Structure 1
């Protein structure tokens, strides 16, 4: 197993790292406390070409999809600005779905503006009564001639306030008969669409919201993939978003550990630097270890994705373990800063507010453990083989 990075991967990582640390980190706190989305920064990131990593020929700066590179990108961005990094993940997902399943007309209209940072497409799967149980969704899409009429509600939609369109999943029926779950690209400015915000303690520049669909009519061209095939195709490839989300938490936590190490080397108590006391240095050593373990788990899942090897369990492991370790690290770093860590003006408490979001997004720890148990010990259980 090769843990080294190729020259190509290293060059991309270093380019993103330079932007994150030079441009993003100084303005993180100012952006993090407001609800305005930083389109200027978003477009600067887009200018690196990384939004097209999963968008297919003509958009991808590489000659192949490379999920490890996607992980490097979001981790480095999160070191500078957790929220900017997390806004990238839906772009990677939506561009991938459009490239694979959208009609040529939809791709022509939406893919280039999406990867250039000029527009945003949100994703709607979660519903008030179903949460992570996607099979229990109630949103309906009734086929009427060549169109579909959508009615229902989606909640916890990231970036809803800033999106121009949204991929919506719905139970589809034709002539009174169910045809399964389908996915549609819905423009959000049309009649019958309304939105409401969810006030959160963190994640503020992106925000979450609730989408209400009241008899919204969309053309057949808006269908992604075949009618009724969403679970078999459109929703089948989500595993890669889980390690990406975990890596944003890890990147944020690594920033906190690095800054805390600098702080405790410089600050003195009882005639010695704080770093000389085991009660200070040992927690940082422990978090350095657990973050590295979580990081490797994430890249292991992404490497398996690259190789076409099943990675559902590994993705769930990374999504459970990574955010948990990240939140613990950020909290301890806050405490090691004492009263300065708790003060709003220094940004440590804001990072804790933000990083906790990835313990929830894309399924909580409990959901991930259900997936791990099902994958490893379910009805078709076989001993784990690498």
Structure 2
């Protein structure tokens, strides 16, 4: 384990050095002088002190907290595919913060962390309600989490689009943005991550006992449900605080614990600490990738997007490797007593025609709805949108049918 810690810390130090090299044109001597307290004089000095250093600090804190929470969730449920992303907590926190930003903007400074916490807890309990408390160790919980992510993310996006004049900046925040203009957010986030100490103090014993199963842990005196809820609430709080500060950054919490186990973490304590270090390492290098892509394409690529580019293929690989026999059984196509009959084609065609008629001819005027042939201008706006919706919906349905038939 000493070797794993040494390599991880060395790689993290290398990432920080590269961030300093490529993030600023200042010489190392000048950088050290500014860190030591020398007053900045030029714009490049201010950019270093109030943009680059806070950004690196946020990458360290957020990456470490996401890696820690990912390890905690995976060990609590004995499921290597769980993370703040796959449990839906990220989208829940984002939706809550979007609603707070739009509807209670004056209280956002005081209520943002609490709102994110409520949204994340709601999403997590919704996933647990879908799959059941005893089914958190397989692939179905990941699929349920992804479904909750899609639904809550769609609701948040719809709210933003309906309030575009007030919420255009929320799209950037939702993509995960480490950009900083001062030390406000690092100083705001640091004390809110202190509950992580509870995880390091309480979790190792609890997680070690849970490896024996719920009954085995209970037989050795562990109150399983209260400790599960306590650690889950602490983990969700860390995720909510991180999302409040930088937005949604995916896959760090999923990948870090899996890497920690592959490099030799065997005990619960070692996995927690190593996942914390690897999470910070991943986000630092992800931020480097985002900056490099931004320079190449001439536009801003946010860190959350870069994390998704790296993490999505890894999630697919992990799903393939972790698919178990019971997952295949639970995901098999259900048998239904209903049988498709030829007369259903006529019913389906009638429903489609009715919906098409309403979408093309429906008009809303003076608070009431009516059917009328649109004028030339409105017709040019409506029929391409209608045709796109029909084509996209049909294509997605066919693709889903083919993939499911090939898989099962």
Please say whether Structure 1 and Structure 2 have the same fold, judged by a TM-score greater than 0.5: no
Structure with more helix by fraction: 2
Structure-1-length-normalised TM-score: 0.31
Structure with more strand by fraction: 1
Decide which structure has the larger Cα Rg and report it: 2
Greater relative contact order (CA < 8 Å, ≥ 6 in sequence): 2
